[in-house]
Chain A
Amino acid sequence: MIRVILPAQLRILARIEGEVTLDVVGEATQGSVLEALERRYPMLQGAIRDRVTQKRRPFVRLFACERDLSHDPADAPLPAAVAIGSEPLLVVGAMSGG
């Protein structure tokens, strides 16, 4: 079980309260977790990563275990603590005004 915490804007958009728990088939990677997330909440397609290129949107960051995973490859394994659900994957809107 993977735990994902989304920023408030995306929780409101997808009508999610609290954190999301996902079952991911195979290895837990950024790509597989985001695929599972978008499958359950189709309105999140395009909100975290580009719909066409599948690249992370520039002002979205991915954190876990006090590390910035934003620049890791999409198919790199997530930290073990995330893979077993003891730590969440944080989807964060970049800190900037607007």
Chain B
Amino acid sequence: MSRVRVLVGTHKGAFILSADGKRERWDVSGPHFAGWDIYHVKGSPAQPNRLYASQTSAWFGQQIQRSDDGGSTWEPVGNAFVYDGVPGTHQWYDGTPHPWEFARVWHLEPSLTDPDTVYAGVEDAALFRSTDGGRNWHELSGLRGHGSGPAWQPGAGGMCLHTILLDPTNPERIFVAISAAGAFRSDDGGTTWRPINRGLKSEQIPDPEAEVGHCVHRLAMHPSNPNRLFMQKHWDVMRSDDAGETWAEVSGNLPSDFGFPIDVHAHEPETIYVVPIKSDSEHFPPDGKLRVYRSRTGGTEWAPLTTGLPQRDCYVNVLRDAMSVDSLDPCGVYFGTTGGAVYGSNDEGDSWTPIVSDLPAVYSVEVQTLS
């Protein structure tokens, strides 16, 4: 029988939630790496018991941990994230040049085919790759060096590369997103890059339609149609049908088009999920009601999903990496809150149950479907 494993990164450690295919009874293990910020944990699609975790601390810096037994035991691997060449400067919050400085790894994206190859999205924004299981890291510096780097600037959470999408039909194609620079695409395996932000409008920057400078919060893709991308931007939910060449707004009837995560149903490429947040300063759900919104039409037409979610006095946030889906049938959907709850739905979002309620603030949620 199939099983699911939910990998949860929090402000004070990692937790692993496990269940059988019914997804009704859960075992909880953790905290792993207690006391440390765990920004992200993700498993290798090629070897599911190979997990990578980003363990970080304002005090003691960055570690990458690796497990080869599904999270029972871990080993610290390489943590030397050194920018290629002279890093140069990006914009600081006040618009002045600021040297590129490594702070932490936000996101780890294992290769679809090779368990020893893994990508890391870091702050200050850059993309690194390891081909030896995380021991050694090398920057794919064509991204930072393509020309617009000096114009990038940090979002409120720092200047982070937070999204990495690998095209399952074309190993040369990689999408990334950076706050606040925008979305970028490589068609040559990460050597060269170009911005793909045409159609985005951001009133918070001097030229709302600039080539770079947009605060993209998250990208999502369905593996069956990797040319169709979905985006949750600082404000606006967007869709591209041409691999990011152009974007159109699909916020439609959402109560707020501000938010952080966006994800796609495992079996329905047009069914997507967002969690509307009131505004850029009020990072909580509108009206104190925690609602996931689902569109079955690739955006524009949205319906609230509320069964089992708090519908009064709820003022948590759901961060950009804190939503994921499993690939069982019916599709399971999971998200974590800054209030420490992880909600799961085993019926495509129609109803929700808190798997855990009182973890530290949840940074990330990833799901593995295991046979």
Contacts and interface: CB of A to CB of B under 8 A. Distances in A.
A51 B80 contact: yes
Interface in B47-62: 57-62
Interface stretch (A17-25, A26-34, A39-47, A74-82): A39-47
Given A13-B76, A51-B80, A46 B57 contact: no
Nearest to B57: A9
Given A9-B35, A13-B76, A43-B76, A48 B82 contact: no
Given A9-B35, A43-B76, A52 B59 contact: no
A80 to B, nearest CB: 29
B61 A98 contact: no
B36 A9 contact: yes
A46 B81 CA distance: 10
A46 B61 contact: yes
Interface in B5-48: 33-36
Contacts of A93: 59-60
Contacts of A59: 58-59
B141 interface: no
B63 interface: yes
Nearest to A44: B60
A37 interface: no
B191 to A, nearest CB: 24
B63 A13 contact: yes
Contacts of A8: 35
A46 B60 CA distance: 7
B60 A45 contact: no
Contacts of B80: 45-46, 51
B67 to A, nearest CB: 15
B141 to A, nearest CB: 16
Contacts of A9: 35-36, 57, 59-60
A60 B61 CA distance: 10
B63 A60 contact: no
B59 A60 contact: yes
Contacts of B91: none
Interface of A: 7-10, 12-13, 43, 45-48, 50-52, 57, 59-60, 93-94, 98
Interface of B: 33-36, 57-63, 76, 79-80, 82
5 contacts: A7-B59, A13-B63, A45-B79, A47-B63, A98-B58
Q: Give me the 8 closest cross-chain CB pairs, A-B, nearest first.
A: A43-B76, A59-B59, A47-B60, A93-B59, A46-B61, A46-B79, A47-B61, A51-B80
Given A8-B35, A60-B59, A98-B58, 6 more contacts: A12-B33, A12-B35, A43-B79, A46-B79, A47-B63, A51-B80
